[in-house]
Amino acid sequence: MQKNYIYGRNTVIDALKNIKVYHVYLLNGFNDKYIFSLLNEKNINYSFVDISKLRTLSNNNNHQGIVAEVEKFNYCSIDDIISYSKTIINPVVLILDGINDPMNFGAIIRSADAFNVAGIIIKKHNQVGVTPVVSKASTGAINHARIAQVSNLSQALDKLHKSGFWSVASDGSAKTNYEELKYDFPCALVIGSEGNGISNLVLSRCDYVVKIKMFGHVNSLNASVATGILLSYIALKHQ
């Protein structure tokens, strides 16, 4: 069984509650009583180590004194996401076109969990996958996420279209404001990369292209911020 390392208190706490944890490494002097209670309750082995060991395991200085060895994240299939979406009225599926910043990806996963997204579809190449940094940025939401990796996003969109989804792309060039749609349909929400946006091929396959109207001096938003705004609005429309 392949294993992975995650780090950070909130991330590890959620993992202890929801997924298989093999071992937990704690910084010498670590004294979080709640985490110790979870470790004892779940009968998880743990050991105290020095800070250099934690840095090596996490490959990061922001480990908050705790690293856990867990089962490697299992990607699902598009069919799994479509099947689950049928249990939700007007479900939302996120399609990410080339998100390469792990902090952005983790924040997007967190928003997806907050607003009951049925699943996330990403590219196998030219897109960050699930990494320890992504897990930390998601603050545990990764343990509840359905994420599919595909070779071709256009084909993924076609499959979603055949399953009754309408696609909505977020792009600054759009003439339609995102608040003009009712979102009274199964929605495949497409978000582009931080630098290049959505590829022309994927954009051409979308049913709607919308923009977030801005009033300041910058002409674009961070991908995770834009995703949060759109998902929040769609969830509000579904109430």
Q: How far apart are CA 24 and CA 47, in angstroms?
A: 7
Same domain assignment for residues 42 and 128 = no
Instruction: Mark whether 67 and 84 lie in a shared domain.
Output: no
User: Residues 157-180: pLDDT tens digits?
Assistant: 999 999 999 999 999 889 999 999
Q: Residues of the chain with pLDDT > 70: what percent? A: 99
H helices then E strands: how many in the chain? 9, 11
pLDDT of residue 189: 98
Q: Which two tokens stand for residue 169?
A: 């792309």
- What is the Cα 188 distance to its own chain's centre? 15
Strand partners, 8: none
Q: Are residues 64 and 105 in the same domain?
A: no
What is the per-residue pLDDT for 2? 62
Please tell me the distance from the alpha carbon of residue 64 to that of residue 27, in angstroms, as a whole number: 9
Reported as a single tens digit per residue, the pLDDT across 192-225 is 987 788 999 999 999 999 999 888 887 778 999 9
- Same domain? For 138 and 208 the reply is yes
**CA within 13 Å, CB half, 123:** 19
Residue ranges of the alpha helices (H) in the chain?
9-18, 33-41, 51-58, 78-85, 102-114, 132-137, 153-162, 200-204, 223-237
Instruction: For residue 154, give the nearest of 72, 219, 213, 78 by alpha carbon.
Output: 78
Q: Give the model confidence (pLDDT) of 53-82 as tens digits.
A: 999 998 888 899 999 999 889 999 999 999
Residue at which a domain ends, from 71, 95, 111:
71
Say how many domains are in the chain. 2
Residue where the block lists tokens 């022309």: 200
Residue 216: give the domain boundaries: 78-237
Q: What distance, in Å, lies between the first and last C-alpha atoms of the chain?
A: 42
What stretch of H or E contains 4? strand 3-7
CA distance 29 to 158: 54
d(C-alpha 87, C-alpha 232), whole Å: 20
Distance CA 111, CA 164 (A): 24
- What is the per-residue DSSP string for 6-38? EESHHHHHHHHHHS-EEEEEEETT---HHHHHH
Is the separation of the CB atoms in 21 and 69 below 8 Å?
Answer: yes
Question: 209 and 114 share a domain?
Answer: yes
* Same domain assignment for residues 121 and 204: yes
Residues 187 and 228 in one domain: yes
124 and 174 share a domain? yes
How far apart CA 121 and CA 75 sit, in angstroms, is: 10
Residues 59 and 159 in one domain: no
In the predicted structure, residue 15 carries a pLDDT above the cut 90: yes
